Amino acid sequence: MYHHTDDGGFKAIASQVEWRFKVAQPPGSFPKGAYFTTLPPHTVDLCTKLLIPKRKTEFLFEFSGDDGLRRLDDGKGRGRYVFYSAADYIVARQRQQYKGKSEAYSMESE
């Protein structure tokens, strides 16, 4: 599972031993929550698919499992790759796989 974010979000989450992804209200009619995806950073048209600005793809967190996450039911099929938690979402150290610049992850995974 991936969480794409900007510099401020990265610093706040990465500073914790257990990652805490805080609930926020996204634009539009999407439910309040902490959002995640199965789409990796090298996905073509990532920003369009996730409806996020490019600056929100600069940094990346990757973790195993989707414990407690719900698929987004937006009527447009995004639930195939967008998940969310209605409460702050905690990722324990043993589930953490990657944190850092998205471009560095892309180079490592190729």
Q: Which two tokens stand for residue 7?
A: 């510099």
pLDDT by residue (tens digit) across 12-61?
999 999 999 999 998 888 999 999 999 999 999 999 999 999 999 999 99
- Residue 75's pLDDT is what? 84
- In the predicted model, is pLDDT for residue 74 greater than 90? no
- In the predicted model, is pLDDT for residue 110 greater than 90? no
Domain chopping of the chain, boundaries:
2-109
Cα gap 107→25, rounded to integer Å: 32
- Residue 63's pLDDT is what? 97
